[in-house]
């Protein structure tokens, strides 16, 4: 929320730019508060075309913002996910927009109930740097599908992508419909009386955003991350679990809000997990120079992770470098994939979301220990369980709570368009993706139409025997 990340920012110009854009969109909403199906569909198609037609430029911009970002990860995790989500919105849009008929009580016989999803108005979206395309386009698709206008503030670490998308969007959309605003401060951006505000980032900044929104009673969708636990059960193949967990963990070098943050292993299988990790990681990432292994976003984040490792060592943890004797690279801002054994709750690595290629490994004898460990901590954005045992799956799911769950894999629930994505408690509030996203950014407006000759016409003063009879019927009196 501070402006130090962009020292060249003209504070006065930033506030004016945000205010002017908001007024344009607000006035456009008042002039056309309910865009019809064809207009919304066209907006989604334009958004999809921007991504398809500028694939190379987008991946290069993200790579430049990172220093090194795996091109294949960007195309798979960001471009594909964004385009596929927009396509899903286009296919479902007509059914989502239909007024929903609702039941009418017998006591209001002849009347009719329905719910009409209406656009809320102007939606602000604050986008983080870790998945700057997907975490922009995923909520945006729902916002436009619901018929809203959108203003977007991207992270200071994503300015190459931000400027590119701003130029591409300006060619296809009027600023009164969609605007991406380079060079504006988060403080100015979140100070507008939006009709809805979306923020993805840390819980601490999420609290600040929510406080700003509260001045205008603006509803918020917060996606805040946290320490997402991963559990491997006794019945599951430990090598297969290891491969899937590390695949997800090392995407984007661990800089993923739903990355498995720490893993619980059966005591008897911990050694097998560690040995297999030592085998497969060098096969996937033979050295830090490989373009397939993404850099840490900036020096500050890199230094924080180095300090986290040092803190664990100083407090007695065993640090297992999965690339052997390969040292962290200050120049590349890369850290070898690392396991932390014998971690304790006093260590930074078990207190804060890691957001890097470091993973504590904990062991257990009884699944109830694991459930208790998870439940006494803040509610995570995701929970992962590797087990084919249905009663065990039910036990873990029903006795814990998290934003989402993937069984026998990690992170894949985020890529599903027909289930909602969202946090709970410290990991956020609200949902988007698919129909729930459309609903999140719509006002579900209840509409009652009275019957031509309703029974309520008899329920007027002066009250007497007719009213007494009707009340006996309604209240079940004898």
Catalytic residue set: 223, 257
DSSP 3-state assignment of 108?
helix
User: Is the dihedral angle over the CA atoms 256, 261, 264, 268 positive or is it negative?
Assistant: positive
Give CA–CA dist 58/136, Å, rounded: 13
Contact criterion met (CB below 8 Å) for 470 and 478: no
User: Is the dihedral angle over the CA atoms 267, 270, 271, 272 positive or is it negative?
Assistant: positive
Q: How far apart are the first and last CA of the chain?
A: 64
B/e letters for 129-143, b = 16+ CB within 10 Å, e = fewer, are bbbbbbbbbbbbbbb
CA angle 266, 281, 251 (to 5 degrees): 90
192, two tokens: 């507008």
Give CA–CA dist 153/147, Å, rounded: 20
Contact criterion met (CB below 8 Å) for 410 and 388: no
**Sheet of 112-119: strands edge to edge?**
100-102, 112-119, 442-449
Cis peptide before 462 (omega within 30 of 0): yes
List CB contacts of 447: < 8 A, sequence separation 6 or more: 99, 113, 114, 115, 116
DSSP 3-state assignment of 334?
strand
């Amino acid at each position: 929320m501070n402006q130090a990340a962009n020292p060249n920012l003209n504070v006065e110009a930033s506030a004016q730019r945000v205010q002017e854009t908001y007024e344009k969109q607000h006035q456009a909403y008042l002039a056309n508060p309910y865009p019809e199906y064809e207009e919304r569909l066209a907006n989604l198609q334009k958004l999809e075309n921007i991504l398809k037609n500028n694939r190379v430029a987008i991946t290069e911009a993200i790579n430049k913002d990172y220093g090194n970002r795996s091109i294949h990860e960007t195309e798979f995790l960001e471009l594909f996910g964004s385009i596929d989500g927009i396509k899903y919105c286009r296919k479902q849009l007509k059914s989502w927009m239909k007024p929903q008929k609702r039941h009418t009580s017998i006591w209001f016989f002849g009347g009719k109930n329905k719910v009409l999803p209406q656009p809320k108005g102007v939606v602000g979206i604050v986008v983080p740097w870790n998945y700057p395309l997907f975490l922009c386009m995923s909520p945006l698709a729902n916002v436009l599908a619901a018929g809203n206008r959108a203003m977007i503030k991207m992270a200071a670490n994503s300015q190459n992508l931000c400027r590119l998308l701003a130029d591409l969007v300006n060619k296809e959309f009027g600023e009164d419909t969609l605007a991406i605003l380079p060079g504006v401060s988060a403080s100015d951006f979140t100070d507008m009386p939006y009709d809805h505000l979306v923020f993805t980032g840390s819980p601490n900044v999420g609290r600040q955003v929510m406080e700003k929104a509260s001045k205008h009673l603006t509803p918020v969708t917060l996606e805040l991350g946290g320490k997402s636990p991963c559990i491997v059960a006794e019945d599951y193949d430990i090598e297969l679990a290891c491969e899937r967990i590390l695949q997800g963990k090392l995407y984007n070098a661990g800089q993923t809000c739903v990355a498995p943050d720490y893993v619980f292993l059966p005591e008897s299988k911990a050694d097998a997990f560690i040995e297999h990790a030592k085998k497969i990681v060098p096969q996937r990432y033979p050295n830090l120079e490989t373009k397939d292994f993404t850099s840490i976003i900036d020096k500050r984040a890199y230094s924080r992770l180095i300090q986290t490792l040092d803190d664990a060592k100083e407090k007695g943890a065993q640090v297992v470098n999965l690339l052997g004797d390969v040292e962290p690279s200050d120049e590349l801002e890369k850290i070898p994939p690392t396991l932390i054994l014998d971690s304790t709750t006093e260590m930074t690595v078990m207190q804060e979301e890691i957001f890097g290629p470091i993973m504590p490994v904990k062991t257990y004898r009884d699944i109830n220990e694991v459930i208790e460990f998870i439940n006494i901590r803040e509610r995570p954005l995701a929970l992962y369980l590797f087990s084919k045992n249905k009663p065990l799956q039910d036990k873990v799911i029903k006795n814990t709570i998290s934003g989402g769950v993937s069984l026998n894999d990690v992170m894949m629930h985020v890529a599903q368009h027909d289930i909602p994505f969202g946090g709970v408690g410290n990991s956020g509030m609200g949902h988007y993706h698919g129909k729930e996203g459309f609903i999140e950014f719509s006002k579900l407006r209840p509409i009652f139409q009275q019957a031509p000759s309703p029974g309520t016409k008899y329920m007027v003063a002066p009250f007497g025997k007719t009213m007494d009879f009707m009340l006996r019927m309604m209240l079940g009196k004898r």
